Amino acid sequence: MHIPDGFLTTRVALSLDVISAAGILFAARRARIDLSDRIIPLMGVLGAFVFAAQMLNFPVAGGTSGHLIGGSLLAILLGPMAGFLTMATVVIAQALFLQDGGLIALGANIFNIGAITCFSGYAVFRLFKGKSGRDNRLAVAGFLAGWFSSVISSAFCALQLGLSGAVPLQIGLAAIPGYHMIVGVIEGALTAGVLGFLSRVRPDLLDTNGAGRFRGADWAGALVFIGMPAVILVLAGSSSLPDPMEKLLIASQSHVAEESALSGIDFLISGTIFTLVIVTGFLLAFIWRRRSRP
């Protein structure tokens, strides 16, 4: 779900722009990518791969069509940091080429489709893959990573739309992730299928490029992934203090500006908690990395 401009209040959109920009700078630094390394053209080509794969729609029963988001797949192949950078590029390109997603909403889209899918997908994958690396484990972990990342990412999309008052929070949270729970099966199946194919044909690509390269970030990813439901709960709790419907009714009588001020506070709270979760995650990862270094 690429959010176009106009559906998020300026405040929500701009805060996410800042968060995403910081995320990109952080990932670029943390991934420690040597610009002369072969990963540079690889990230570019895999970005093009995801872009092309997203355009390869194929019909699903009921007239809708499904395609690969690819965030979790990229994170598994390239590691979460390089994967996130690549997905961020894809999202920017989609806004610039196809006007899929807005310009001011770019931060929100990078956050949902880039950061959330990559980090949650990667964390789930590592969690379920285990050490054995047997084919069926790989498939199960890949499926769960794809499915979960797609659902969580859509939940964040719904959350932002709700906070902006474009779609009532309850309706959004029911409809958008609900839809993705179904469509996510395709994402999961394709992620698992591609991983399975790679492990049969070119297992070396799975060994050298993804797993084990950014081990510290596993923890960060896992924490973000655990933190998310917490944030959602807190959010749902804080916004239901005055009934959201009631609040929206009040808001609809006055200006959008006031409405965004109301949701701005909610956003500030959730944003702070979320940032804290991420920061703790990265701190832990950093300490863990330090310790594991001989």
Residue list 117-136, contact with another protein (CB under 8 A) = none
The count of residues in the chain is: 294
Neighbours of 289 (CB within 10 A): 15
The contacts of residue 61 (CB under 8 Å, 6+ apart) are none
Q: How far is the CB of 294 from another protein (least distance, A)?
A: 25
| Residues of this chain, 188-207, that bind another protein according to CB under 8 A | 189-190, 192-194, 196-198, 201-202, 204-205
Residue (173 or 278) nearer to another protein, CB: 173
Region binding another protein by CB under 8 A among candidate stretches 171-179, 224-232, 268-276, 278-286: 171-179
6: left (phi over 0), alpha (psi -120 to 50) or beta: left
Indicate whether 81 belongs to the interface with another protein (CB under 8 A): no
Nearer to another protein, 196 or 227 (CB): 196
Q: HEC states along the chain?
A: CCCCCCCCCHHHHHHHHHHHHHHHHHHHHHCCCCCCCCHHHHHHHHHHHHHHHHHCCEECCCCCEECCCCHHHHHHHHCHHHHHHHHHHHHHHHHHHHCCCCCCCHHHHHHHHHHHHHHHHHHHHHHHHCCCCCHHHHHHHHHHHHHHHHHHHHHHHHHHHHHCCCCCHHHHHHHHHHHHHHHHHHHHHHHHHHHHHHHHHCHHHHHHHCCCCCHHHHHHHHHHHHHHHHHHHHHHHHHCCCCHHHHHHHHHHCCHHHHHHHHHHHHHHHHHHHHHHHHHHHHHHHHHHHHHCC
Pick one of 95, 155, 262, 278: the residue that binds another protein (CB under 8 A). 95
Which range touches another protein (CB under 8 A), out of 128-136, 184-192, 222-230, 265-273? 184-192
104 or 273, CB closer to another protein?
A: 104
CB of 292 to another protein, least distance (A): 26
Is the CB of residue 137 less than 8 Å from the CB of residue 125?
no
The reply on whether position 241 binds another protein by CB under 8 A is: no
Chosen residue from 237, 253, 291, 293 binding another protein by CB under 8 A: 253
Residue from 92, 108, 144, 220 touching another protein (CB under 8 A): that is 92
Q: Which is nearer to another protein, 88 or 231 (CB)?
A: 88
Indicate which single residue of 127, 128, 140, 175 sits in contact with another protein (rule: CB under 8 A).
175
Closer CB to another protein, 114 or 221, in the complex = 114
Q: Which of residues 29-68 bind another protein (CB under 8 A)?
A: 33-36, 38, 40-49, 51-53, 55-56, 58, 60-61, 68
Stretch that binds another protein, among 23-31, 117-125, 216-224, 261-269 (CB under 8 A): 23-31
Q: Does 1 bind another protein (CB under 8 A)?
A: yes
90 near another protein (CB under 8 A): yes
Taking the complex as a whole, the smallest distance from the CB of residue 77 to another protein amounts, in Å, to 8
